Each structure stands twice: as C-alpha cells, then as structure tokens.
Amino acid sequence: MRVKKKTGRIRLPRQTAGYNELADFFDRHDGTDLLDQGITEIDPDRADLDRMLREYWRQAKHEAVEYPHPGGGQAHDRETGETQDD
C-alpha cells in the first residue's frame, strides 16, 4: 500500500505573476494540497459557473464533427442497398 507523503509548505507565486507563471503554479500543485494548506477554498456560490454553462449551451455549434463511414468511406442506401462513393 502506498502512503501519500506529507506535502511541505507550498511557495506561492508572486503577487504580480502573469498568466504563464500562474498556469505553471497550478500545473505543479495538486488541488487537494492547495485546499489543505488554505491556499484555495471551495466557493459555495455557483451562480457564475451556472451562468457560463448556460451561455455555452446557447452558443451555436458551427462545426460539425465528422466521423469515418463504416465500410471504407462508402455510404450505403438503406432502402436499395446500393453503395455510393463519397
């Protein structure tokens, strides 16, 4: 059984840190460790997340996802059984 080693004190990024430095900080540290040390906390107010999700659902989906046709790229007419080349 593997026991998780205790995480040492996490050094915070500079207060003037840019996006890249902050992204690196969050990539290097586990979210539970940040919660345990009081660096981050869970925000019980989900209103902003719910708003962003509703906005995402309302956006038009402009690009259709293309899937490969079974049968080597040939479409089959269900009624006649004929093969049509793409």
- Domain count along the chain: 1
Is 69 within the bounds of a domain? no
Q: What is the pLDDT of residues 25-81, one digit of tens each?
A: 999 999 899 999 999 998 888 899 999 998 888 887 765 556 665 655 555 565 666
pLDDT of residue 71: 58
Q: How far apart are CA 34 and CA 12, in angstroms?
A: 10
Look at 3 and 10; give whichever has higher pLDDT.
10
Q: 27-30, long-range: CB within 8 Å, 24+ apart, which pairs? A: none
Is 36 within the bounds of a domain? yes
**pTM, whole model, 2 decimals?**
0.46
Per-residue pLDDT band for 86 (boundaries 50, 70, 90) equals: very low
Q: What angle do CA 7, 31, 49 make, to 5 degrees?
A: 165
Residues 3-25 have a mean pLDDT of 84
Domain residue limits at 48: 19-58
